[in-house]
Amino acid sequence: MTGTTSRRDFLKYGSGVIGASMLPFLKALPARAAGGDVLVAVTGQTINSLDLHRTGTNRASYQVAVNCYDRLVSFGTKEAPGGGLSYDYSVIEPELAESWTISDDGLTMTFKIKPEAKFWDGTKVTAADVKWSFDRAVSVGGFPTVQMKAGGLIAPEQFEAVDDETFVIHLERPSKLSLPDLAVPVPFVINSKVAMANATAEDPWAMEYLHKTPAGSGAFKVAKWAPGEQLVYERNDDWAGGPLPGPKRVILREVPSPATRRALIERGDVQLSFDIPNKDAAELADKVTVYSTPIENCMHVVGLNTTFEPFQDPDVRKAIAYAIPYEDIFQTAAYGRGAPLWGGSTEIDDIAWPRKSPYYTDMDMARSHLEKSAFAKGFDVPFSISLSLADWMEPTALLIQESLAGLGITSEIEKIPGANWRTAALVEKRLPLHLENFGGWLNTPDYYFFWAYQKGHLFNSSNYENPEIEALVDETLHMSMEDPQYMPNIKRMFAIAFEDLPRIPLWQPALNVAANGAEGYEFWFHRQLDIRPLKGA
């Protein structure tokens, strides 16, 4: 603890929210080191794996791929709306690759690996490591493989290690997404020699080993990982991927209680509090530095699972859309932060996304649609939320629950632990009525639809399937935005989405981060903490 704060004072300040599980945290917090050698951050999220490619790895764990591994390229940096920094989707910069070329026909991408790039064990990063890593990403299945597919990266045969420092990608067709897709967290480069030494016939990609033991070349190593408690990063002084980070060590503590995280950042006992609730962002803004960055290509939504019989009826889906108390939710759960996504025009005259749906709060319209359905008298349905996202999900669910009761729809709120949420909502897709949020990493509307509206894809938590959407996304995903068919295709996708309503938009959220003694925070589309640019104030 910094200053003269005693444990007794701290417990009192935390209003009794700190239990026995927090005691190791109090002992582990270092005094603020001279020169900013140690930086302490807190998050309410739980990191459940150190390997993004592993099935069931949750979103909080993506940051390990960002901070501990390198990619061939990265996005640039720009000033963020509302202050601070943000990634720049329009600029591609070197990370492991010192240069690259793309053939005139757009089908061959050739990368030159930085000759000075080394893994943590001192061995040279080679094109063979890049190929093994890409082969792994397109072969393990699930989210990583589908993400690679979005950029036209489908099969190991597309990847060629010409020599130690030359890596080539052969594309089946040119795509606007191929190069940006190399800058997202998924195609990270693994020390293939270490991984293969710990692989088995049953586990050829060393999933079990890399789950707990990263093997990268990134800016930070993992010094310690205690799931549910903390992740300790240690700087890699030989990093060749970018400027050497300021702190030698970054301690990321998992603190479930928002009240405790707020107390810590207000008192200056930690330097950064990541992804804070909207309420805290509004109330802390005049006490510490608060960054609230709109999340591009992202929406908070109500998910209606089409495997649940009532939600197979379009009138039931529309009844729910008209019953949602949007403004009350926006003020109560979002504290007015972000952008409303209801009450839009029925005319679709541009391809801006996210965009407002044409639905609004109208209980008479809701009753009218429900009366036209086979469920006019209502029905019972569980309403699922994630405990790790309870700051916005719980007040939203309570307000929707109350409104649906007016239609005879009884919904009991089911609170699912954050560590289990991804499996229940996205992998198994077994939640009939739920809240969800998805932000597309590649900033085009067709990319959002690829993930959230195509059959079987991870963020299609509604189990939605529409043959026309399937065809439109497949046709549009790799199409140039200058193609004369691009805009009509996107507009048609929007029209179908608002008519079929497997997902009901609520609002476009902002990512809130509080800093008190830290500088250099940069917002990223993946909504996880990039510790590489941070430094002490």
Q: Which fold has domain 7-67+218-293+511-536?
A: D-Maltodextrin-Binding Protein; domain 2 (3.40.190)
> Across residues 110-116, what is the average pLDDT?
98
**Cβ count near 21 (within 10 Å):** 11
Q: How far apart are CA 463 and CA 217, in angstroms?
A: 38
For CATH 3.10.105.10, list the domain ranges present in the chain. Answer: 298-508
For CATH 3.90.76.10, list the domain ranges present in the chain. Answer: 88-195
Phi then psi for residue 143, to 5 deg, are -55, -50
For CATH 3.40.190.10, list the domain ranges present in the chain. Answer: 7-67+218-293+511-536
pLDDT in tens, 493-511: 999 999 999 999 999 999 9
Q: How far apart are CA 391 and CA 333, in angstroms?
A: 7
Q: How far apart are CA 247 and CA 249, in angstroms?
A: 5
Please provide the CATH number assigned to the domain covering 298-508: 3.10.105.10
Which alpha helices (DSSP H) does 140-206 contain, by range?
142-150, 178-181, 192-197
Tokens of 21: 């599980």
pLDDT in tens, 264-318: 999 999 999 999 999 999 999 999 999 999 899 999 999 999 999 999 999 999 9
CATH class assigned to 88-195 = alpha beta
User: Coil, strand or helix: which one is 502?
Assistant: coil
**Cβ count near 247 (within 10 Å):** 24
Nearest alpha carbon to residue 456 among 39, 6, 149, 64: 149
pLDDT in tens, 229-267: 999 999 999 999 999 999 999 999 999 999 999 999 999
Find the helix packing angle between 486-500 and 467-476, rounded to 10°: 150
- Predicted TM-score (pTM) of this structure: 0.83
User: Coil, strand or helix: which one is 413?
Assistant: strand
